[in-house]
Amino acid sequence: MPEVSPQACVKCASPVHPSDTRCPRCGTRRPAGGWPPDPRIGQRFLDRLVIRHRLGHGATGSVYLAEDPESGALAAVKFLHRTLRADDELVKRFRVEAVVTKALGIPQVVQTYDFGVTEDGTHYLTMEYVAGQNLADLMAAGPLSLGDAIEIARQVLMALDVAHRRHVIHRDLKPGNLLLTRAPDGRPLVKILDFGFAKVLCEQGEGFFYPVRVTRDRVVMGTPHYMSPEQARGERELDGRTDLYSAGVILYQMVTGVPPFDAENPMDVLVKHLEEPPRPPTRVLPALPAALDPILLRLLAKDREARYGTAAEVLADLDRAFPATDSPWRLEEVSARAARPSQILRQVGQLVPDPVPVPEPPRRGPPWAVILAVAGGLILAGLVLWTFYT
């Protein structure tokens, strides 16, 4: 849904709410006559597109609906806020999002068409426009049917399996980033949005190390209700199991109607992720099948070593407990559409500094300390024996 009467700051053009007395981005005071309309709306973009509406905005950017007047084709355009264009890390993360979503190329991930920089220095990416319902809005009405919840979880896990096998972890999986729509052939389809927090795991190959980490170490990134314990601790080394934990939280909430951990204060939610064991789903909603309990409790294990190792393992357990005889998607079909892992790493590697040669391990000379110690011990033993026998 487009925003109603979208307005923008007179100085930095960042989105503002009519009640804002100052721009939240640059601090500019609201003019006496109020904030002006967003200047991007109605503008021509990339020669062929016209910006029609502002769909939404967040801390790092705004998303607009654009139309090709000749064909009627629609696209979503995401602009990084102008005030952030000097932040090299955010810019790099913005570009990594574009490369990753374009290269994954599967139906369950919103596709990126192009990315670049406008004449005024604003970074943008163009994406497919998806009309559908946000999972967060759907869950606001209460628990989903078991069949719908399992199918949504299956598609999310398929997308995660494809991404993880290509060294990509999402790190901000939540209902607000899941869109429910239909594929061109009419099949129900779940789309994962916003890979802005995605991390491409470092990879070594051909004598080079690609330092593709583009987020600050020890920074807690994610949404509190759906963050894994290791994210809550701000751990530096994350892997795909952090996404599996988030997927477990989402599935738990879909079938019970409540998240496994809740509190008024976000910090209290994080503490519960770290310390409080989740209640089995059947204790929240006794009508649920008991087969859900072990799957969800394993997904929500505090120690990631106790969780499932891969999304494919979770899918296998779901299929055993709830046979997917009528599921419209298969993992093999989805995976076949994605780029090879080496292609994604190569493309992302082009966005970071030149690869650094992997240093050879230092050549170790003879272990003189050990040799001298052994020799000294033999001499001492010889003296003792000589004294004893003489």
Distances (CA, A) of 4 to 7, 51, 55, 129: 9, 15, 9, 19
Q: Is 103 helix (H, G, I), strand (E, B) or coil?
A: helix
Which of 200, 203, 224, 226 minimizes the C-alpha distance to 213?
Answer: 200
Q: Whole-angstrom Cα distance, residue 189 to residue 151? A: 9
Name residues whose C-beta falls within 8 Å of residue 18's C-beta, 6 or more positions apart in sequence. Answer: 5, 7, 34, 35
Hey, which residues does 182 pair with through a beta bridge? Answer: 188
**Element (H or E) spanning 156, and its range?**
helix 146-165
Supply φ then ψ for residue 20, to 5 degrees: -65, 125
Among 306, 308, 312, residue whose Cα is nearest residue 330: 312
- Answer whether 232's CB lies under 8 Å from 225's CB: no
Instruction: Report the candidate in 234, 233, 265, 230 with the shortest Cα–Cα distance to residue 246.
Output: 230
Name residue 354's amino acid. Answer: D
DSSP state string for 172-233: ---GGGEEEEE-TTS-EEEEE---TT-EEPPEEETTEEE----S-TT---S-GGG--HHHHT
Report the alpha-carbon distance of residue 310 to residue 331 in Å, rounded: 13
172 is catalytic: yes
Contact 189, 331 (CB under 8 A): no
Active-site choice (172, 185, 303, 317): 172
DSSP for 115-143 reads EEE-TTS-EEEEEE----EEHHHHHTTSP
Amino acid in the structure at residue 41: I
* Distant-in-sequence, close-in-space partners of 261: CB < 8 Å, separation ≥ 6: 225, 249, 269, 272, 273, 276, 278
Which residues participate in catalysis according to the annotation? 172
